[in-house]
Amino acid sequence: MLSRPGRWLVLLRAALVVAGAIAVALTDFPPSYLPWAWGVVGFFAAVTVFSAMLSLVELEPVARVRARVLLLALDAFVAIGFISVFSFEAGQPWRALYLIPIAAAALRFGLVGGAVAGAVMTGATIVIDALGPGLQWRTAFARVLVGVLSGLVIGRLRDTLNAERSRAESRAAEAERLRDELGHRVDVLDTANRCARALGSSLVLDEAFGAFIRELRGLVPFERTAIVLVEGDTATTMATAGRGAGEIFPPGNSDPIEGSLLERVLEGKIVVRRDLTARDAPADEQLLALGLRSELVAPLLLGARTIGMLSLSRERPDAFSDDEVELVALLGRLVATAVQNIRAYEAERRRVEELARLSQLRADFVSLVSHELRSPMAAVIGAARTLQDRWRMLTASQRESFLALIGDETARLAELVGDVLDTSRIEAGTFSYRFEELDLGRVVDEAVEAAVLAQQDVPVVASVRGALPAIRGDRARLRQVLGNLIENAVKYSPEGGEVRVSASASNGAVRIAVHDSGPGIPPDQQTRIFEKFGRVDVPGASKPGTGLGLFIARSIAEAHGGSLDVSSDAEPGATFTLSLPVGG
């Protein structure tokens, strides 16, 4: 590395020797200066020959540094010599030669070399001025400032460039290492892609998981594997294969996330469990009972969100290599999209099934409403025609009976039409309310009195514990809710049974419970009865109705900031509870 720059410097020195000789020959020196001038030129020529000889020799690093220092010192002597012999005349441009050794030292040895050379060369020029034409402090100060700053700036730039070159070389080595690592990762990615494509080959869970397992066994052997998904606050097993697949955490199993292994994985980090005998997870006992000793768990990452985990277990402790850990971690990212697609497909399939069920409910409702309309209308028409045709033949009591029948059936029709209209208004958001301060105890009494007057087969008993606090609500709408609940309770209670209506206040809410003595409501239908057209489907317990009353009642309760719930398990019958906030 010395030879090529050294040869250029030899040529440069040779050119400067010629230029210096011409300058000395053309300058009119004082008699005492001329021998010294030619002596400096000769010394410069000798330095040039010496540097040429050094450029032809391959030196060791230490010797090369020493040679550079020696040549720099000789060049400095040459510069000082030329400045000295031309110092007989003020304003000579040769004084600027002091900057050349400073720049050379800074370029060769950085900030330290520039500082040292700056101090030496500016000091030499001051001495020359003091011994020659005389020292001017302002000029000397400017020369020192320029010289030292030049050495510092050039040296600093040289150090910066060297640091950048070292950094670039380090980056080149790092790039080469990364290239090899990238090749390895491409192989891993291709392997993981095959598994992901297998899982995404079908939207049917069993088919997709079967293809995934066949591909995964050839890449990362295992004794057991499972895919577990996040469902709110629970961990739900989506699919399992291998040992104990149908007994230990089978598909569809749900457990709380808190305290489970999935809770650790939610941070998006892979978990390598080298020995399950440490028993640091709730499921370890069951896995150990299957003969499994190590487990590798990777998060299923959809972007930055963890939607579940992929676990693989083996019967040997510490059985997973670093490459397998890397492969399964990558697999977790690639598999997440396919898992999400399958889950979305399953949700869409369930939604379609629900829409089909609702469509069937709607069809049943049309049939039901047709029947509910036909019966009272037929009764009204029959009674009206009888009165029309036989008015004079009927007694007064018979006429009253027919008129009462027409009134009752017309009321049924009005109630049916009212329920349908109320349902339409609720869905359209136009169901109106008039809120005011009201005494809920009085509303309860009115509803119970109306139910007692309407029928005598089923006793209705009211029990209000203490004075109820005032609430803000719509009296007519709340009266409609209570009337519907009591009417249903009477309808489903057997003759001689009892309907109990109780009201109490606690924890900032007023609760009104309506309990009947009917057959009760199965748990799987307790949600359905609050849906539109939802009716209890229990043999022997079906009653006429549209299935809209409880839907309307719950909507009114929620509009008041409250709730309407049902319970039917502790004793015979069912209990509907209306909760309303105090002052809400």
Residue matched to tokens 């609702």: 358
CA distances from 134 to 81, 89, 377, 432, 443 (A): 17, 11, 134, 109, 119
CA 349 from chain centre, in angstroms, equals 26
Domain spans of the chain, in order of start: 3-171, 205-348, 436-581
Question: What distance in Å separates the CA atoms of residue 298 and residue 325, rounded to the nearest whole number?
Answer: 9
Work out the burial of residue 492: count CB atoms within 10 Å of its CB; fewer than 13 is exposed, 13-18 middle, 19 or more buried: buried
Q: Name, in order, each residue with C-beta under 8 angstroms of 369's C-beta and a sequence gap of 6 or more.
A: 416, 420, 546
> At residue 71, what is the residue type?
L
pLDDT per residue of the chain (584 residues) written in tens, 0 to 9: 334 555 667 787 788 788 878 877 877 777 887 888 788 788 878 877 887 787 777 778 788 778 778 877 887 777 777 777 777 665 566 667 777 787 777 777 788 877 887 788 777 777 776 776 666 677 667 777 777 788 788 878 888 888 888 888 888 888 888 887 777 667 667 767 777 777 666 667 677 777 777 777 777 788 888 888 888 888 888 888 888 887 888 888 888 888 788 888 887 788 888 888 888 788 888 888 888 989 888 888 877 788 888 888 988 888 888 878 887 887 777 777 777 777 787 778 888 887 887 777 666 666 666 656 676 777 788 888 888 888 888 888 888 888 888 887 787 777 777 777 777 777 777 788 888 888 888 888 888 888 888 777 888 888 887 778 888 888 888 988 888 888 888 888 888 788 889 998 888 888 999 988 888 888 878 887 887 777 776 555 556 666 778 888 888 888 888 999 988 875 678 889 999 998 76
The pLDDT assigned to 3 comes to 43
| Other residues' Cβ atoms within 10 Å of the Cβ of residue 432 | 7
DSSP bridge pairs for 473: 436
The pLDDT assigned to 59 comes to 75
Class of domain 436-581: alpha beta
Question: What distance in Å separates the CA atoms of residue 180 and residue 126, rounded to the nearest whole number?
Answer: 60
Helix H or strand E encompassing 420: helix 396-428
Q: Between β-strands 460-464 and 499-506, what pairing exists: parallel, antiparallel or unpaired?
A: parallel
Question: What distance in Å separates the CA atoms of residue 360 and residue 531, rounded to the nearest whole number?
Answer: 13
Question: What distance in Å separates the CA atoms of residue 265 and residue 304, rounded to the nearest whole number?
Answer: 13
Exposure letters 353-375 (e unless 16+ CB within 10 A, then b):
eeeeeeeebeeebeebbeebeee
End-to-end CA distance of the chain: give it in Å, rounded: 90
Helix H or strand E encompassing 467: none
- Is residue 74 within 8 Å of residue 118, measured between CB atoms? no
The pLDDT assigned to 1 comes to 34
The pLDDT assigned to 5 comes to 52
Q: What share of the chain is helix, strand, coil (3-state, %, to 5)?
A: 60, 15, 25
pTM score: 0.41
Q: Which CATH architecture has domain 205-348?
A: 2-Layer Sandwich (3.30)
SS3 labels along 98-110:
HHHHHHHHHHHHH
- Is residue 273 within 8 Å of residue 296, measured between CB atoms? yes
The pLDDT assigned to 552 comes to 85
Work out the burial of residue 308: count CB atoms within 10 Å of its CB; fewer than 13 is exposed, 13-18 middle, 19 or more buried: buried
| Other residues' Cβ atoms within 10 Å of the Cβ of residue 436 | 11
DSSP bridge pairs for 310: 227, 298
CA distances from 81 to 36, 95, 102, 104 (A): 8, 10, 15, 17
